[in-house]
Structure 1
Amino acid sequence: MTSDISIRREDDVVVVTPAGEMDAVTSPALAEAIDGVLLPDTPTGVVVDLSKVGFCDSRCIGVLVAAYRQARDLGAGLMVAEPQRQVLRLFVIAGIDQVIPIAGTVGAAVEDLRD
C-alpha cells in the first residue's frame, strides 16, 4: 500500500497530513516526515492530521509514540487530530489516547499547541 504525506506550516505549528494506510511499509515515511519538521528548527508544535488515514497498525502507533517523545524532549508539543473512527478505536484500545493528546479538529490542535 502507499501513503502520501503533506506538510504545511501554520505559523509556529507544523501540520503533517498522511493519507492512505499507515502500516509497516508506509509508517517509516511518516517517521521521516515528522523527524524532518522537528529538526533542525524545532517548531512550537506538530499536529499529525489523521483525517485521511483509513488504517493504522502497530508500527504507525510506534512511530507516533516515538515522535511524541522526541517532540517533548525537544521542548515541542505533538498532537494527533481528526482520526477516523476505526483509527481512534485502535488508539483507545491500545491506550494511546492516554499518552498522545487527540483533538477533534486540526484547528483545535493548532490552538492547543500555541497556548
Structure 2
Amino acid sequence: MKSNNERVYKMSFASVYPHYVTKVEKKGRTVAELHEVIHWLTGYNEKGLQQHIDAKTNFEDFFAQAQLHENATKITGVICGYRIEEIEDEVMRQVRYLDKLVDELAKGKAMEKILRK
C-alpha cells in the first residue's frame, strides 16, 4: 500500500485536474461548481488554485499548503474501494476527500450537501 501512496503523492494536481473537469462536465455540472468544491475543501482561492495548476504541484504539497475545511472530516463513505474515514494516511485521506466531492458533484448531489452545510 505504501508504494501506491507514494505514487499518488508525487502525481501533480494539474495532471488529475482535467479528469475532474471532464467528469463533472459530462454530468452537466460546471467548472465553477468544481472550483467551489475545491475552494471549500482546500481553502484555495481562484488565484491560488491556478498557481498550483501552473506549477504542477504534486498532491503531497498541494494538501500540505491547503487549509482543510473544518467539516472535511464529515466526508465519509467509500471511494475507490476504501472507506474514507478508515484511511490512516493523512495525505491519502485528503486526496480521497477530493475524489469523493468530485464524485458527489458529478452524481448531481446538491451543493449544500456536498459542502457539508
Q: Could you state the TM-score of these two structures normalised by the residue count of structure 2? A: 0.30
Q: Could you state the TM-score of these two structures normalised by the residue count of structure 1? A: 0.30
Which protein is bigger by CA-based radius of gyration? Answer: 2
Q: Which structure has more strand as a fraction of its residues?
A: 1
